[in-house]
């Protein structure tokens, strides 16, 4: 193996293990951690040439770092994107991808069902700068058409959406909003690049929280923006350099190691999630199950078209509202209560009182978050143990 980034002709698993690998002269096996904030130049002339861009090489850790670059190249190979820039968290990636192209007077559209910090960015922060934000029901194409009746600068969407795993038809929405001028940004965290490839469905930009399935073991925060070279040069590279949401080289290394096994972990988690969804659907104390892989999901057709499996998250509604949900959560002995997701450990959350407590009850009900709604992020434990834990916790309801 040379130290060139792995060509696209290799299989997925090969690219996940070796993509982007650049060995130092020491020929280390594992990717090196370049834990340095800066770089030095042999001569003043060399520094001049580096800053002029006529001599290749690193300048400063806020701009780029060799370990972070290995991660970016591995992600480019995974997503099929021309360029990738990583950030210190998923929200740094979402914020940069949305804010960088905008000017006062621009219009943005997004579904109402969004990851809660993404919603804050759109409904609270952007309007302060004279950006108009139009919210739609993500699965209603007529509402997208109405939003696109006037020029649109950018669209941010996620599918499956947080927290109840709604489906947005990425291709149909891209076809509607792109003629209005929109840059289509897809937050693909819930699906992961293994199950859904938004760039092939018309998205211009894909963003990730690497904190979730890419790290996969709950250790680091990180984010990534993937797009064409042209978009990166026009909107994102300078914004990231000068505003400074850089990813730590150490965290980049942990995420590189996480990617080496993501193709083993995510399918295993999907298999367990599907079994858990089926078991929950048959339980009398569960009034509703929302799993993208089940035939009874309201947007099943959309998910089946654009996702190759149902994903690692299951949403359910427990009988007895908030009290029932709390009893269930408090009775869990194996599955932890946590708002995180995409971890090797199974985690359960009550969105109405945690991630989605900021919005009103009416807004929550509109996006399907009832007082009894619980979201489970299915981990890597033995599935029978998870099923047994869920069954005994439902006894407490």
- Chain contacts with ligand PLP (rule: CB under 6 A): 89-91, 94, 115, 118, 158, 162, 187, 189-190, 209, 211-212, 221, 223, 341
Q: In whole angstroms, how close is the CB of 161 to ligand PLP at the nearest point?
A: 8
Nearer to ligand PLP, 173 or 279 (CB): 173
Q: In whole angstroms, how close is the CB of 8 to ligand PLP at the nearest point?
A: 27
Q: Collapsing DSSP states into helix, strand and coil, what is residue 352?
A: helix
Nearer to ligand PLP, 144 or 190 (CB): 190
Q: In whole angstroms, how close is the CB of 229 to ligand PLP at the nearest point?
A: 24
Q: In whole angstroms, how close is the CB of 384 to ligand PLP at the nearest point?
A: 28
Q: In whole angstroms, how close is the CB of 216 to ligand PLP at the nearest point?
A: 13
CA–CA gap between residue 381 and residue 248 (Å, rounded): 29
CA–CA gap between residue 301 and residue 298 (Å, rounded): 8
Q: Which residue has the tokens 């089940």?
A: 294
Which stretches within the chain are classed as H helix?
12-18, 44-52, 66-79, 90-99, 116-120, 141-147, 170-177, 192-195, 229-231, 237-243, 249-259, 262-281, 300-306, 321-331, 361-366, 383-395
CB 265 within 8 A of CB 380: yes
- Angle at which helices 66-79 and 249-259 pack, to 10 degrees? 30
Q: Which residue is nearest to ligand PLP (CB)?
A: 90
Nearer to ligand PLP, 148 or 313 (CB): 313
The separation between CA 170 and the C-alpha centre of its own chain, rounded to angstroms, equals 15
CA–CA gap between residue 190 and residue 215 (Å, rounded): 14
Nearer to ligand PLP, 191 or 393 (CB): 191
Nearer to ligand PLP, 213 or 285 (CB): 213
Q: In whole angstroms, how close is the CB of 208 to ligand PLP at the nearest point?
A: 8
Nearer to ligand PLP, 6 or 355 (CB): 355
CA angle at residue 317 from 311 to 321, to 5 degrees?
A: 150
């Amino acid at each position: 193996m040379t130290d060139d980034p792995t060509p696209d002709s290799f299989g997925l698993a090969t690219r996940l293990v070796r993509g982007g690998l650049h060995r130092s002269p020491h020929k280390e096996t594992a990717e090196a951690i370049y834990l340095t904030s800066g770089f030095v130049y042999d001569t003043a002339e060399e520094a001049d040439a580096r800053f002029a861009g006529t001599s290749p090489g690193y300048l400063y850790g806020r701009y780029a770092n060799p370990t972070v670059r290995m991660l970016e190249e591995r992600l480019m190979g995974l997503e099929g994107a021309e360029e990738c820039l990583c950030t210190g968290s998923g929200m740094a990636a979402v914020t940069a991808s949305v804010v960088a192209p905008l000017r006062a007077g621009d219009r943005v559209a997004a579904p109402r069902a969004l990851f809660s910090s993404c919603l804050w960015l759109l409904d609270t922060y952007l309007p302060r700068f004279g950006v108009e934000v139009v919210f739609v029901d993500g699965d209603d194409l007529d509402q997208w058409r109405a939003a696109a009746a006037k020029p649109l600068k950018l669209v941010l969407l996620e599918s499956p959406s947080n927290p109840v795993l709604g489906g947005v038809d990425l291709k149909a929405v891209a076809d509607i909003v792109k003629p209005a001028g929109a840059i289509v940004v897809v937050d693909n965290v819930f699906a992961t690049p293994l199950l859904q490839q938004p760039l092939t469905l018309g998205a211009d930009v894909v963003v990730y929280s690497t904190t979730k399935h890419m790290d996969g073991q709950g250790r680091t925060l990180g984010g990534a923006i993937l797009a064409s070279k042209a978009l990166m040069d026009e909107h994102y590279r300078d914004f990231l350099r000068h505003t400074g949401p850089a990813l730590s080289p150490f965290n980049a290394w942990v995420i590189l190691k996480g990617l080496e096994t993501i193709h083993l972990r995510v399918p295993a988690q999907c298999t367990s999630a599907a079994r858990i969804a089926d078991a929950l659907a048959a339980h009398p104390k569960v009034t509703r199950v929302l799993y993208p892989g089940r035939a009874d999901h309201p947007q099943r057709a959309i998910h089946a078209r654009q996702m190759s499996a149902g994903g690692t998250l299951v949403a359910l509604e427990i009988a007895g509202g908030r009290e029932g949900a709390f009893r269930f959560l408090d009775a869990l002995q194996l599955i932890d209560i946590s708002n995180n997701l995409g971890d090797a450990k199974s985690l359960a959350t009550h969105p109405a009182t945690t991630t989605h407590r900021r919005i009103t009850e009416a807004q929550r009900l509109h996006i399907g978050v009832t007082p009894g709604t619980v979201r489970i992020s299915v981990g890597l434990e033995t599935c029978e143990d998870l099923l047994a834990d869920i069954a005994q916790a439902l006894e407490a309801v």
